[in-house]
Amino acid sequence: MSASTTRRVLAAVAVGAVVAAVGTIAIAGGFKKPTELETHQPGEDPKLSAVEGEAFGTAVQGDCLTWTTSTEDIGKIDCSEPHQFEVASELDLSLYPGREFGPGSAFPGVLRFTELQDEHCVPAVDAYLGAKFDPQGKFDVGLIFPSEAGWNAGQRTLRCGIKFAKTNGALMPITGTVTGQDQSKIWETGTCVGIDRNLPTDPVDCSQPHAFEVSGIVDLTTQFPGGPPSSDDQDKYLTDTCAKITDEYLGSPDTLRNKTLTMFFPSVEPMSWLAGSHRVNCMVGKGSGAEGFAPIVGTAKGDILIDGQPPVPPPAVPEGRALPTPLPGAAPAPIPGAAPAPR
């Protein structure tokens, strides 16, 4: 594949892996599964939610919630402080038509809660952010639901909101209200993103196997101050910009080639652009024989192993203009300066 095609493939695989992971996170809801939700001890109020506290029961739009090792000690906190969840809306299932959620109804379970999240929480979050939620950004739509014991006691109010999750579902802290934040899904320069089954996961130490390493960050508004730029315009700009950034990061314009790595970058979709996501990462990695990435150990700024082996630098490019290799059956490639062949 050409360098441009390789870059596009690697960028697509990286973004696709993140999107797939978000779907897994949604199923788990970011919290415990129904079989793992703790029930209440005798004498406790069973109407409390799975997160077991007044903060959940009184949380309203704009409240920020936090907890430590489990959601049982959930509490409200000023949104300027690190928190795990920002409430976008309340969802009272007792108002839902039909008998599905009526008195005495069976506990819905995670899959049904996921459907409710997609049906109600996605539009609720979008409305909360003024139609500026980036579905490909770093934040995810979340849902907190009652425990089975709370449900059986008549608790029917859920909370839709915003969370920041790793690919394994673990929540990371959010600082400041999400409203007005740049939602670009980027990592800091020098970050290495782990690998599992040839697909990217979450940041790891560069001494651990990883899919790619971040060589820099580009704010596209410096080149495109207006509306969403086309993917072709972004590609033209980022090809040169990321090449310069990567060469500077690696310390030499020859390092990338000698280590058989590929520089790549994603593009910003119009919906993400309009939501305020304008920054992208420049990254370096190595495509595998199968779809995805080859595991790399070590930072690209030093010695690395690719698939457990040190990279073998390709032959040096000869001086002068490189000539294309003719296709089978084609006439030999012309020699520069030679007279044209007789017809």
Helices (H), the chain: 3-28, 54-58, 110-116, 122-128, 148-152, 231-250, 255-258, 270-274
Ordered strands of the 85-92 beta sheet = 75-77, 64-66, 85-92, 157-163, 140-144
Written as tens digits, the pLDDT of the chain (343 aa) is 556 666 666 777 766 554 444 432 222 333 333 333 332 232 333 333 343 457 767 889 999 998 776 555 678 999 999 999 999 999 999 998 889 999 999 999 888 999 999 999 999 999 999 989 998 999 999 998 877 877 888 888 899 999 998 887 888 899 999 988 889 999 999 999 999 999 999 999 999 999 999 999 999 999 999 999 999 999 999 999 999 999 999 999 999 999 999 999 999 999 999 999 999 999 999 998 767 899 999 999 999 999 999 999 888 777 765 555 545 444 444 444 444 444 4
CA contacts within 13 A on the Cβ side of 266: 26
Token pair recorded at residue 92: 């009272």
Predicted TM-score (pTM) of this structure? 0.74
The predicted structure's pLDDT at residue 318: 72
pLDDT computed for residue 171 by the predictor? 86
| pLDDT, position 242 | 97
Bridging pattern class, strands 305-306 and 296-297: antiparallel
Q: Quick one: pLDDT at residue 3?
A: 62
Q: Are 165 and 143 in contact (CB under 8 A)?
A: no
List b or e across 305-316, with b for residues whose CB sees 16 or more CB atoms inside 10 angstroms.
ebeeeebeeeee
